[in-house]
Homo-oligomer: A and B are copies of this chain.
């Protein structure tokens, strides 16, 4: 079966529409998706940034928020930002998303975290937010959080992020088909076509 890797970061704004769209579009294209949470922080740090480029470069940030509004409106996705400073810390959520991979709940968990952040004004670094999401999905929060915070899983997320950097990722969302990299929510359709063709 044709397949695609979906690399995303919970703090990344354009990862939100990508996470909400990829299930449907990949299903229609007959492409299997591997969901790969990672952290942009270490990658941005290597580029010399200690904050989101959307905060560092003001005009770019202003544009991004308006562009995201238009994209969400066109997709029928709610967009309601939380009152905490952008970007939110997605570390705990990313560790949980990684735990879910073997259990099969990563896609549903990921969508719920993005909805919490971008539509429900929740603080996704808050254990209560994550616990409520896990419970709503029928996942035992204590077991999941223990696995997420265990040393093996922390190391696995570090390695996932190192793999991202080694494979040329510099932003999120990114899609990889074989060795072919596609960057940005707006490249999802092209990446899926590539996956089908190759």
Residue ranges of A at the interface with B (Cβ–Cβ < 8 Å)? 47, 57, 59-60, 62-63, 66-67, 70, 74, 165, 168-171, 180-184, 186-187, 190
Contacts and interface: CB of A to CB of B under 8 A. Distances in A.
A67 B66 CA distance: 24
A176 to B, nearest CB: 11
A169 B59 contact: yes
22 contacts: A47-B57, A57-B170, A59-B165, A59-B168, A59-B169, A59-B170, A60-B170, A60-B171, A62-B168, A63-B168, A63-B170, A63-B181, A63-B183, A66-B180, A66-B181, A67-B182, A67-B183, A67-B187, A70-B190, A184-B186, A186-B186, A186-B187
Nearest to A70: B190
A113 to B, nearest CB: 26
Tell me which of A59, A60, A66 has the highest count of chain B C-beta atoms within 10 A of its own C-beta. Answer: A59
A66 B57 CA distance: 25
A185 B47 CA distance: 25
Instruction: For the complex of A and B, list the 6 residue pairs with the smallest distance between their C-beta atoms, beginning with the closest.
Output: A59-B170, A186-B186, A60-B170, A59-B168, A47-B57, A63-B181
